[in-house]
Amino acid sequence: MSRSLYWKITSPVLLIALVGTLSVSLAAPYLLEWFVTQTAVDNAQQQAATFRNIRNYYSEQVVAKVTGSGGFNVMADHQLSAEGVPVPATFLIEMVDYDKPQELVMTDLISPYPFKNRIERKMDEYQKRAWKAVQANPDEFYVELLEQDGKMMVRAAQADRLNAPACVACHNNHPTSLKRDWKLGDVRGLLEVSTVVDGWLERGVWISRTLSGVTLLAFALVMLVNFRVARQVSEPLNRISGSLRSLSRGEDRGLSPEDYQYQEVESLADAFNGFSEKERERKQLAHKVEMLAYTDPLTQLANRTGFQQELDKRMSESAERQALVRIWLVDVDHFRDINDTLGYEVGDKVLGLLAEALQRTLPADTLLARLGEDEFGVLLDVAADTAEWSGLEYMAEQVQQAVSEHLQVAGRTLKLTASVGAACSSHDAENGQELILQANIALHQAKALGRNRAVIHSPELSAAVTQRVELVHDMHNGLELGEFVPFYQPQFDLQTGALIGAEALMRWQRKDGSLMPPGMFIPVAEQSSLIVPMGAQIMENACRDCQAWQAEGLEGIRVAVNVSSVQFADDDLVALTRAVLEKTGLQPALLELEVTESGLLAEVDEVIASLQKLHELGIELALDDFGTGYSSLSYLKTLPVDRLKIDREFVRDLLNSSDDQAILRMIVELGKQLNLKILAEGVEEAEQLALLKASGCQEVQGFYYAKPLPLNEFIEYAKNYSVAETTV
């Protein structure tokens, strides 16, 4: 852990201030004492020197002359004689005592060997210590600071030597001298100068206090400035680092322009602001790029990626937010026609208008996206306790209504419809992708049911899709194993009663022995285009079988093969038929292809051309399920068909409906006019047969005669069939 710059800057100064103030206040008394003592000693030295000079002067200039004159006596106790002149030592002692000058500096000359007249002058404790000291060190001052009589004193003493022969002589010869073996230079006594330093100390204490105070004040001032500087440096740094941190979290918190006080900090702030500006630009750019990636440029709505992302997000949050996620996939019906007939420019305009119309209709919290060319997605989440279906259908209707608003484009009024598939996250969808899959299944169903409707996903729907997928898989296998075989239902000439042909009806004979009727798998086969190879297989089988009949005594019996509209759309139908005929060697006239009206509606011209080509192969063509579709008599005329097959639904109600009977007569009449044979299917009862016969219908098939039969049974049936049995 690194230390903060603030403390790094301030702590040394704080430390120095503390140590400084402390040491000043601690050291001051000692310094003071030292100063006082030293000064006192200097004074004492000075004083001592002065006294010594005076004495020397006295010795040389007074005592010497007096001694020579004979008029006076130089004596220690000179007071006793009128001619007495004091010896130098006495002179000095008496001089310093003379007027007991200022109390502050006191001088004393004392010896452990006094003359008799001064025998009472004894050394005090300090002087005894000093005496001992000067024995060892006669040139030094012996100094002590001590308290005496309530006063602080510096006492300094120096050795007083016998430094003149006269002195030595006098001391050795003086009658009251206690010691008589003095030599020149001997230490005879102490010359002490004592100074009362109370006043000095008081002043010193005042000085030291003032000094400490000033020091403290100075340091405090320095610290104050230091703290300020440290703050001025560290605060902006903290701000910059704070901003950097928030920048790294993705929040943009630029620095406000302010006075940074210091160039270095300011340039750092500038650099940061420059960087964050760049970062802002980079983010904006990234945002733009993201927008482009997630937006449909034509409508400015979210695109598939954007939709999916938002959906995934809401799905993952839905549990936490206690919400149900709902989506609606909207597919504009037959939109391609607009592009094909009016051009892409108009198509784009239409999409833009649709987007606007949808946007207007949908609640504000709905996400609308363009998922594909003509596919929109709507995303909305609702509280988890919302009833499952409530709103799902309503919103689907709203969407359909929005799409079906009249659009004014390129001088035209267009009215479109939409197929809608909706799904709600309550149906086990784990994630966005699964939800989209469910909605897609529903949309698929809506389209399969004929478009312009909404289907809401249900688990059953998914199950059906799963089944269908499995069915397709099984059909693939079945196709490879040749499990799709034709059963044959005989057809008869109503007037003669003769068996004239058979319709090949596909059955799925599975390996497990089950037999599946075409209604259960053909719709799926048609959706997956599997019907194309399946139909080819049936056609080949039927033609081969029919060819075989011819050799087995069933000459002239035709075979009719059903052709799905999907096969019809497949270009190869003509080529296939030709190839099958060549391969099986069947006479074209013995083959009939049954086509349904619905298969022909799509591209009339092309269909007619194909039928024409088939017809040119020499085969017959039948129009299946006639009477159920929206038969347009005008185009019937242009179709190269040979036979109309009246639908069995129509035959079923024939006995009870005089309308149907009238229509039957009309169809028969039409057949005559257009030279078409009329075959009625689904005949189950003799009465139906009689009625058909009476109305002039030429051919029939139905359970009344036989159900669709497996090949061998059909052959047997055909061989055993005699006209007499069935003639009515």
Give the binding site for ligand C2E (CB under 6 A). 489, 504-506, 517-519, 522, 531, 535, 538, 562-564, 624-625, 648, 681-684, 702-703, 708
Helix, coil or strand: residue 597: helix
DSSP bridge pairs for 87: none
Q: In angstroms, give the least distance from the CB of 653 to ligand C2E.
A: 13
**Residue type at 14 in one-letter notation:** L
- Residue 649 phi, psi dihedral angles, 5° rounding: -55, -40
Does 624 help bind Ca ion (rule: CB under 5 A)?
Answer: yes
Q: Residue 522: which of Ca ion, ligand C2E, none does it interact with, CB under 5 to 8 A by kind?
A: ligand C2E
User: Closest CB to ligand C2E among 403 and 525?
Assistant: 525
* Binding status of residue 625 toward Ca ion by CB under 5 A: yes
Q: Which does 518 bind (CB under 5 to 8 A by kind): Ca ion, ligand C2E, none?
A: ligand C2E
Q: Are 350 and 414 in contact (CB under 8 A)?
A: yes
3-state DSSP call for residue 483?
A: coil
Scan residues 284-343 and list those touching Ca ion (CB under 5 A): none
Least spacing, CB of residue 440 vs ligand C2E, in Å? 27
332/697 with CB nearer ligand C2E: 697
671 binds, among ligand C2E, Ca ion, none (CB under 5 to 8 A by kind): none
- Distance from C-alpha of 266 to C-alpha of 236, rounded to nearest angstrom: 9
What whole-number distance in Å separates Cα of residue 85 and Cα of residue 87?
Answer: 7
Total residues in contact with Ca ion, by rule CB under 5 A:
4
Q: Which CB sits closer to ligand C2E, 375 or 592?
A: 592
Q: Is the distance from CB of 588 to CB of 618 less than 8 angstroms?
A: yes
Of ligand C2E, Ca ion, none, which one sits near residue 108, judging by CB under 5 to 8 A according to partner kind?
none
The H helix count followed by the E strand count for the chain is: 25, 22
Q: What H or E segment, with its residue span, contains residue 326?
A: strand 323-332
CB of 609 to ligand C2E, least distance (A): 21
> Whole-number minimum distance, CB 702 to ligand C2E, in Å?
3
For residues 542 to 571, the per-residue mask of contacts with Ca ion, x marking binding by CB under 5 A and - elsewhere, is --------------------x---------
DSSP annotation of 262:
S
The kind and range of the H/E element at 196 are strand 187-196
Residue 708's binding partner out of ligand C2E, Ca ion, none, with CB under 5 to 8 Å set by partner kind? ligand C2E
Q: Closest separation between CB of residue 717 and Ca ion, Å? A: 19
Question: Least distance from C-beta 497 to ligand C2E, angstroms?
Answer: 17
Q: Residue 433 CB, nearest distance to Ca ion (Å)?
A: 42
Q: How far is the CB of 499 from ligand C2E (least distance, A)?
A: 15
Torsions phi, psi for 497 (to 5 deg)? 85, 0
> Angle at which helices 88-98 and 5-57 pack, to 10 degrees?
120
Contact in structure between 704 and 685 (CB atoms under 8 Å): yes
Query: Distance between CA atoms of 444 and 131, rounded to whole angstroms?
Result: 130
Tell me the closest approach of the beta carbon of residue 704 to ligand C2E, in angstroms: 6
Min CB(331)–Ca ion separation in Å: 32
- Between 540 and 625, name the residue whose CB sits nearer to ligand C2E: 625
Nearer to Ca ion (CB atom), residue 331 or residue 699: 699
**What residues does 195 pair with on adjacent strands?**
105, 154
594 near Ca ion (CB under 5 A): yes
Is residue 17 within 8 A of residue 218, CB to CB? The reply is no
Which one, 620 or 625, has the nearer CB to Ca ion? 625
CA 508 to CA 518: how far, in whole Å?
A: 7
Smallest gap from residue 504 Cβ to ligand C2E (A): 6
Q: Which is nearer to Ca ion, 142 or 492 (CB)?
A: 492
Residue 580 CB, shortest distance to Ca ion, in Å, is: 18
The interface partner of residue 88, options being ligand C2E, Ca ion, none and the CB cut-off 5 to 8 Å by kind, is none
- In the complex with ligand C2E, the residue whose CB is nearer, 88 or 682, is 682
On whether the CB atoms of residues 177 and 113 are closer than 8 A, the answer is yes
Angle between helices 604-616 and 573-584 (to 10 degrees): 20
Copy the structure tokens of residue 227.
Answer: 């703290």
Among 106-114, 196-204, 252-260, 623-631, the segment contacting Ca ion (CB under 5 A): 623-631
Determine the Cα–Cα distance for residues 142 and 194; give it in Å rounded to an integer: 11
* Cβ atoms < 10 Å from Cβ of 571: 10
Residue 684 binding partner per list ligand C2E, Ca ion, none, with a CB distance cut-off of 5 to 8 Å that depends on partner kind: ligand C2E
CB nearer to ligand C2E: pick between 90 and 567: 567
Of ligand C2E, Ca ion, none, which one does residue 682 interact with (CB within 5 to 8 Å by kind)? Answer: ligand C2E
- Using CA atoms, how far residue 309 sits from 294, 303, 330, 457, in Å, is 9, 10, 18, 21
Stretch that binds Ca ion, among 38-46, 110-118, 124-132, 589-597 (CB under 5 A): 589-597
538 binds, among ligand C2E, Ca ion, none (CB under 5 to 8 A by kind): ligand C2E
Alpha helices, H only, 429-564: 432-448, 459-481, 522-527, 531-551
Give me the residue label for tokens 């229509």.
663
Return the number of the residue (35 or 704) whose C-beta is nearest Ca ion: 704
From CA 252, how far away is CA 283, in angstroms rounded?
10
Burial class (CB in 10 A: 0-12, 13-18, 19+), 391: middle
Tokens of 595: 């086509």
Nearer to Ca ion, 374 or 624 (CB): 624
Q: Which is nearer to Ca ion, 96 or 502 (CB)?
A: 502
| Binding at 329: pick from ligand C2E, Ca ion, none (beta carbon under 5-8 Å per type) | none
Query: Which window, 593-601, 605-613, 634-642, 720-728, contacts Ca ion (CB under 5 A)?
Result: 593-601
**Cα–Cα distance between 352 and 299 in angstroms, integer?**
5
3-state secondary structure of 396: helix
**Nearer Cβ to Ca ion, position 37 or 562?**
562
In whole angstroms, give the CA distance from residue 267 to residue 250. 23
Distance CA 372, CA 386 (A): 30
* Shortest distance, position 610 Cβ to Ca ion, whole Å: 18
Which residues contact Ca ion by CB under 5 A?
A: 562, 594, 624-625
